[in-house]
Chains A and B, each alone.
Chain A
Amino acid sequence: MKMTGAQALIKALEMEGTEVMFGLPGGCILPAYDPLLDSSIRHILVRHEQGAGHMAEGYAHVTGRPGVAMVTSGPAATNMVTPLCDAYMDSIPMVCITGQVPTSAIGTDAFQECDTVGITRSVTKHNELVMSAQDLPLAIRQAFHIATTGRPGPTLIDIPKDVLQNSMEWHWPTDAEVIDSLPGYRPTMKGHPRMIKEAARLILESERPILYVGGGVLKARAAEALVELAELTNIHVVTTLMARGAFPDSHPLCLGMPGMHGNATAITAMQQSDLLVALGARFDDRITGKVSSFAQQAKIIHVDIDPAEQGKVRRPDVPIVGDCRLVIEEIVKAIRELLATGSTQADTAVWKSRISGWREQFPLSYEPSEPGEALKPQFCLEALRDSAPPDTILVSGVGQHQMWSSQYWRFDKPYTWVNSGGLGTMGFSVPAAIGAKVGRPDATVWAIDGDGCFQMTAQELVTASTERIPVKVAILNNSYLGMVRQWQEMFYEERYSEVYLSPDTPDFVKWAEAMGCVGIRVDSPEEVQPAIDKANSIDDRPVVVDFRVAASEKVFPMVPAGFGNDDLLLPPSQMARKEFLR
């Protein structure tokens, strides 16, 4: 069957199961937008290409399916660099299609030409400039295959305008053709049996074990297997920022988030453990603090599908390369076999009582506001959490509000938490929330944002209004770049440099209304609940709630950058009993 490259592109996207794509047309990608009119694919027209990228990420986060974005050449492609890098850092499956100037114009500095493949090479798992219409179906299949298998990540296909216009003979490559075309790409799925046995043995021998769970568990859809492993061995679990929801916060074995702003128990349990079972986690600097003082007595079992993560930061005693779900299932099986053949698990009672002591002594805490004082952001989050319908998806930007969201929310299901962890992209939440809502229209989606973040990508609420995507945005408005302010207060002797925004400019309520949303402003504690109830009751348009919160509030606990995890700073009310953290 003869068709144009553009028709082949759209057909290939359909064949890959694409239901929705996020994008914005322009000169070079124009030919692809014509057959889109006749396609089953829903296209969401964004207001800025960065928004398309983050929407694709949000969609991928909550559905597990690759997010698809399509934009034109030049500035559109460069606007896509941030989302691509974000997806690369957080291993989000995403396929990006960019237009390119015609093949005859490549290299001539033509209008809206840029070296898209060159620019995005280091922020994609793979990218490709397709020079012939005939090659398009295979290129698209490869892009989806690479994005979704192994360690997931973003891929980009750059297509010159004439390649979209040229005629080709349709051919849909078989799985075997795709595999054969990528001789260097064979992700390891199954863990090494000897290593798995060794891991099982170490787990049973350990007196102070911790399951250190990262985002890879979610990518591998291993949440159920993880619960089985934790319950079988009765080992406590910490879930990193990228893994919130991978293990239910309501589970008695869940210790919550470790790391720079983790809770004291999760941080200390890792520090004091004799065995860290790292599952799809990468020993990020925000988790380890100073590496040389991180969990010094712990042996390490490191399960990761990416061999390059093994030994990158901390040398594992038992490296296991493989898919987290398959490996965890095998470890469970190996443990059951050991137990069945007479092995017993070491006594962890002392360890467990130490952990419960820490939990009792060092809960997350903040000072509630006195009457007449400004709202506390944590109070707003608690109210949002307690009023949230079941299965609510929480999306956050980057900064203080992100840490409070992770700390104070209760995540009981996987894929209900969407945030920018690795790259720390301010402005992530509004578009990512829109993408999440598109992927899960049945679920309530709350975006928690800062006033700084919101101003970076708020224009996408126009997209949400016009496309009828009713997300809810809670701005924790402290009129500061809050996290920077916190660092300047604590580490720069309160010398505040370029961190003050303005509480009243812009007027967030008017801005929300101008974008077709409902805008609500909240100044006092008694206004909090009615505002949340109203927001939760609106389901036909986006809602923005401007919570005016205390500017001086800081995120605790905190491990200052460059320090070890033993040097964590507790909330002021708990500092006096820090000695109990041993």
Chain B
Amino acid sequence: MSVTSTTSQPNYHILSVLVQNRSGVLARVAGLFARRGYNIFSLAVAPTEDEALSRITVVVDVESTPLEQIVKQLFKLIEVVKISELDPRRSVERELLLATVRATCDDRGQVVELANIFEGKILAVGVDAITVSLDGHPDKLDDFEELLRGYGIVELQRTGRVALPKLDREARLRAVKGKVV
């Protein structure tokens, strides 16, 4: 059982993309990634405090394509209002995981204990399976997922990460709108 951490790896970047809340925007963003051959690790979309705007949090693979090109091409989409690159070390990231794990009465207790250690929740208990949820930093979810795997995962779903810049003094939100990064 290995516990992986992705925080320090430089091969992904988090882009927080503020878009006009209009139909087809997600298709434009996804289509651009597909057309230009950029890879997406994860994607989360939701409205913001301003109902005219939505925020797309996209984690991109920058091994194949320089981030600068991705940002500039994204910014050419008319409905993209602002793009911020979030440095993983200076932002708060959260993700939600739901998993149904095989657990008979023999090892149900272990799974519940594991969920408790991670401060997860038990959502449903069946005869031979149990559904748990956990929200937190994606790394923590990785660890949890890895540990659950030993029991046998029946189904698992993660939301993809959402992120905001940290509020501390060192917080740096690099606005890269329309500029050479």
Contacts and interface: CB of A to CB of B under 8 A. Distances in A.
A125 B66 CA distance: 22
Contact of B180 (A122, A184, A307): A307
Given A126-B78, A183-B81, A308 B72 contact: yes
B158 to A, nearest CB: 28
Contact of A121 (B27, B68, B73, B82): B27
B78 A125 contact: yes
B19 A184 contact: yes
Contacts of B24: 117, 121, 129
Given A122-B35, A308-B69, A312-B69, A184 B27 contact: no
Interface in A315-351: 319, 321
Contacts of A126: 78
Contact of A182 (B68, B78, B180): B78
B98 interface: no
Contacts of A492: none
B81 A118 contact: no
Given A125-B78, A312-B69, A183 B31 contact: no
Given A126-B78, A183-B20, A183-B81, A188 B69 contact: no
Classify the interface of chain B: helix, strand, loop or mixed: mixed
Interface string B7-48: 000000000000110011001100110010000000000000
B178 interface: yes
Nearest to B72: A308
B180 A311 contact: yes
A121 B80 contact: no
Contacts of B76: 306, 308
B73 A308 contact: yes
A473 interface: no
Contacts of A122: 31-32, 35
Contact of B72 (A183, A185, A307): A307
B175 to A, nearest CB: 13
Interface in B64-111: 66, 68-69, 72-73, 75-82
A146 interface: yes
Given A118-B27, A311-B180, A319-B180, A184 B72 contact: no
10 contacts: A121-B27, A122-B35, A129-B24, A146-B78, A183-B81, A184-B80, A184-B82, A185-B78, A307-B75, A308-B69
List the 8 closest A-B pairs by CB distance, nearest first.
A308-B72, A184-B81, A126-B78, A184-B80, A183-B81, A185-B78, A122-B35, A307-B72
Interface of A: 117-118, 121-122, 125-126, 129, 146, 182-186, 188, 306-308, 310-312, 319, 321
